[in-house]
Copies of this chain bind each other. A is one copy, B any other.
Amino acid sequence: MNQSRPGPSLRTIPEGDTRERLVCGDCGFVQYENPKIVVGSVVHVDGKVLMCRRAIEPSRGLWTLPAGYMELGETAIEGARREAWEEARADIAIDALLAVYDIPRIGQVQLIWRATLAAPGFSAGPESLEVALFGWDEIPWEETAFPTVRWALRHARDIGGLAHFAPRGNPPGESASG
């Protein structure tokens, strides 16, 4: 059960395919790597937004939005609600899709929703050092964990309470690094 490179680690084009895939040299298993979906939310509470200070790497100690990898068996919205609970012990109501961000370098598509609290209260989950509310003029921009956190906050601020709007994409020319 222990070797230096377990699992699919050979890059080759499987028969009948057109792209290189990772194949296991031991058993021939082909791993189809696809982009992963990150689901998250900007949660509006009394004119402020909820942010979490990360207890884990990467970017430990910096501020982020409740977000994480979507899991099998859930809808994207269920995933965003689960992440808000796991990271901020917040029971949220999803309102509208705020943004779809692409980060092709790391194979991610991020779906970020606008949300409110469905029930009062929040607190730090196991992956957060603390959870707090910030007004737009209080956000710790210099201590945010990822570019997409800054994008989503700016987009949420621009969109405000608009009822019908198209979700935003990456800011022009920006592809982020995570």
Task: Give me the interface of A with B, judged by CB distance under 8 Å.
Answer: 1-3, 6-8, 19, 24, 26-31, 33-37, 69-78, 96-97, 100, 102, 104, 107, 109, 111, 164-167, 169
Contact for A76 among B8, B36, B100, CB less than 8 A: B100
Tell me if A31 and B34 are in contact (CB < 8 A).
Answer: no
User: How many angstroms from the CA of A3 to the CA of B29 in the assembled complex?
Assistant: 10
Interface class of chain A by DSSP: loop
Contacts of A165 in B (CB 8 A): 164, 166
6 contacts between A and B (CB under 8 A): A7-B8, A19-B71, A37-B37, A75-B104, A97-B100, A164-B165
User: How many angstroms from the CA of A169 to the CA of B29 in the assembled complex?
Assistant: 35
User: A24-B27, A31-B31, A78-B104 provided; 14 other pairs, C-beta below 8 A?
Assistant: A1-B28, A2-B28, A3-B27, A6-B28, A7-B7, A7-B8, A8-B29, A34-B34, A73-B107, A76-B102, A97-B100, A164-B164, A164-B166, A167-B167
Tell me if B26 and A70 are in contact (CB < 8 A).
Answer: no
Given contacts A24-B6, A26-B26, contact A33 B166 (CB under 8 A): no
User: How many angstroms from the CA of A95 to the CA of B4 in the assembled complex?
Assistant: 47
Tell me if A1 and B27 are in contact (CB < 8 A).
Answer: yes
